[in-house]
Amino acid sequence: MSWSSTYQAQFSEQLVDQLLAIVQRDQRAALDWVGGGLADFQTYMTSPILQPQYPCLLIAPVEDLFDPESQAGSLHYSSTIEVEIGVAHQDVRIVGRTLQRYIRAVDAIVHTLADKPGAMADLYTGLALTLPELAAGTMTTPLQTGSVKEIWIGSHRLSEIAALKQGGFWKAAKIEIRVDREEL
């Protein structure tokens, strides 16, 4: 008998792409809502790079925890996705405050996705995604309709302020996003 998969689960890759595309699309409105004249993110990543331009944003999977009680033919699991935000500034007193504003903007995008009626439909729609490693005009692959059961922010964690080699200071934050999913 030849092998065939019993399900079509995609795990976190497409979820990360959808979240990144949503942030790229909505960031300007969210940053304007926060106020303070914040610039758009200059670097977007799905894996760390050595020399990002600030402000930068990384969205990457951390883990998928599976439910052993999943029904045959489907996988029920919880994904942890980490959003890392990095900012830099010449004034040590400003870098922390600036980071807090970027956290608010990204948190608001995720909460709107989770709480606004109909907003989760964006996860099931192909969206424009811009990354250096992708061809121009790349569209995301939508998630299986209805596969996301719930999405929420688990935590915000902030780093210490550190000096940059070329002068100035940087600070980073990690936002943990939890996603309850069931894929067939």
Are residues 29 and 105 in contact, defined by beta-carbon separation less than 8 angstroms? no
Mean per-residue pLDDT over the chain, rounded? 93
C-beta atoms surrounding 69 within 10 Å: 6
**37-73 pLDDT tens trace:** 999 999 999 988 777 899 999 999 999 999 988 777 7
Task: Name the pLDDT band for 3 (thresholds 50, 70, 90).
Answer: confident
Residues 6+ apart with CB under 8 A from 105: 27, 30, 31, 33, 34, 38
Are residues 51 and 90 in contact, defined by beta-carbon separation less than 8 angstroms? no
Task: Name the pLDDT band for 184 (thresholds 50, 70, 90).
Answer: confident
> If we measure between CA atoms, which residue out of 151, 104, 105, 85 comes closest to residue 124?
151
**10-39 pLDDT tens trace:** 889 999 999 999 999 999 999 999 998 999
Q: State percent of the chain over pLDDT 90.
A: 81
Query: What's the confidence (pLDDT) of residue 50?
Result: 75
C-beta atoms surrounding 143 within 10 Å: 21
Task: Name the pLDDT band for 8 (thresholds 50, 70, 90).
Answer: confident
- Record the tokens describing residue 167, joined without a space: 């002068």
Task: Name the pLDDT band for 112 (thresholds 50, 70, 90).
Answer: very high
Residue 83 has pLDDT above 90, yes or no: yes
Helices and strands (H, E) in the chain, number of each type: 2, 6
Looking at domain 13-183, its CATH architecture is: 2-Layer Sandwich (3.30)
If phi > 0 it is left, if psi is from -120 to 50 it is alpha, else beta; for residue 118 that is left
DSSP 104-149: HHHHHHHHHHHHSTTGGGGGGS--B---TTS-TT-BPPPPPTT-EE
